[in-house]
Amino acid sequence: MSEKVNLIDQSTYNDRRNRDTDEGKDAATRITPRSSKFKNKHRKPEQQASLLDFVVKPRPKSQRQIKARKLQRPHLTITRSSYIVNKPKGKTRIDPKKKVTKLKRSVRSYRTLKKVERDIAEQEPEEEIQPEAIPVEQRVQELSLVEIPPTKVSPQGGETHSIHSRRFRSYCDNCTRPRLKELCLNLLKDLDRFQKRAFAKNEIKARAHPRLVLGFREALARLRIDKVKLLILATDCEICPGESGLDETIEGLKFQCQQGKVPYCFPLVRRELSYALQKRAQISCVAILDFDGANAIFADLLIELEDARAEYKRRTAL
């Protein structure tokens, strides 16, 4: 081919070069960078800044950050307390009626009767007892040198032994030994800790399979279906004779345990039971349904209970 095709004059070359440089400048001014870092630098002077320019958008979290956040959370989360009952469904009254059980009504009626009798006794003047009014047999008995075992008269009309008192009622049939108290406290604390841990994991399963229940009504309901492994009763329950009273309820619980061959004991007073289970109200009865995890303490408690019962029989036989 001829070289004339590749040859151009000087004026054409200058025009072509000037045109390329002008197109490059226009392209540079026309194309703006997409990065948000330099966006404001290339903004036209007539555009004004707004508040949206100062909004910082959060960066989306990666899967690794989300997984690390989950691992930092505690494994167990207690959504609600272990003994709080769920909020009832349906309408709620402004002044709800308090349900009073039959046992509570009998206790209140006996308290009222005692208060009335005490007020009448305080109003009446005390009559001085003359020596002639004392029977001859009683005076001879006081002067006799033979030691007679002391007895007390219970409110029901029967006689009780001298070891019984207000803190150790006549329905108890085992002595409160220090070793028995210690084992009972350890057992209650361990089972309460196990139950709270189960409520923290899964509340529905924990309510279906409780470790222990409180109160005479719950204990009697579990005794009827043979679910109780050990029944713990307080030694200082309030005196309440009569039909469906507190004394009759305790005797019914003891009868149910004897029929089902369920061990029962009287190791602590009401205040000590509530302290062991971290409750404000005094507790009179605790029914243990599952002692798994504290088998050694339970076995030692049964052995110590037999010794305490033998000691009670030996002391009351005098």
pLDDT tens, 132-171?
A: 555 545 543 443 333 434 445 454 444 567 788 888 888 8
Task: Summarize pLDDT for 163-196 with one digit per residue, the tens.
Answer: 888 888 888 999 999 999 999 999 999 999 999 9
Strand 285-288 relative to strand 212-214: parallel, antiparallel, unpaired?
Answer: antiparallel
* Between residues 85 and 213, the one the model is more confident about: 213
* Between residues 120 and 127, the one the model is more confident about: 120
Output the pLDDT for position 47: 61
Q: What is the pTM of this model?
A: 0.60
Give me the residue spans of the domains in the chain: 178-305
Q: Please determine, looking at this structure, whether the domain spanning 178-305 carries the CATH number 3.30.1330.30.
A: yes
> Considering the chain, what percentage of its residues have pLDDT values greater than 70?
69
Output the pLDDT for position 125: 60
36/168 Cα distance (integer angstroms): 83
Structure confidence at residue 240 as a pLDDT band (50, 70, 90): confident
278/202 Cα distance (integer angstroms): 21
Q: Which residue has the tokens 């061959």?
A: 261
* Between residues 65 and 36, the one the model is more confident about: 65
Q: What is the rounded average pLDDT for all residues in the chain?
A: 78
Q: Which CA distances in Å does 63 have to 53, 68, 70?
A: 29, 9, 11
Using an 8 Å Cβ cutoff, are 299 and 312 in contact? no
Output the pLDDT for position 148: 39
Stretch 55-82: mean pLDDT: 67
Structure confidence at residue 96 as a pLDDT band (50, 70, 90): confident
Give the residues across from 161 on adjacent strands: 151
Annotate the chain with three-state secondary structure.
CCHHHCCCCHHHHHHHHHHHHHHHHHHHHHCCCCCCCCCCCCCCCCCCCCHHHHCCCCCCCCHHHHHHHHHHCCCCCCCCCCCCCCCCCCCCCCCCCCCCCHHHHHHHHHHHHHHHHHHHHHHCCCCCCCHHHCCHHHHHHHHCCCCCCCEEECCCCCEEECCCCCCCCCCCCCCCCHHHHHHHHHHHHHHHHHHHHHHHHCHHHHHHCCCEEECHHHHHHHHHCCCCCEEEECCCCCCCCCCCCHHHHHHHHHHHHHHHCCCEECCCCHHHHHHHCCCCCCCCEEEECCCCCCHHHHHHHHHHHHHHHHHHHHHHCC
First to last CA, the chain: 144
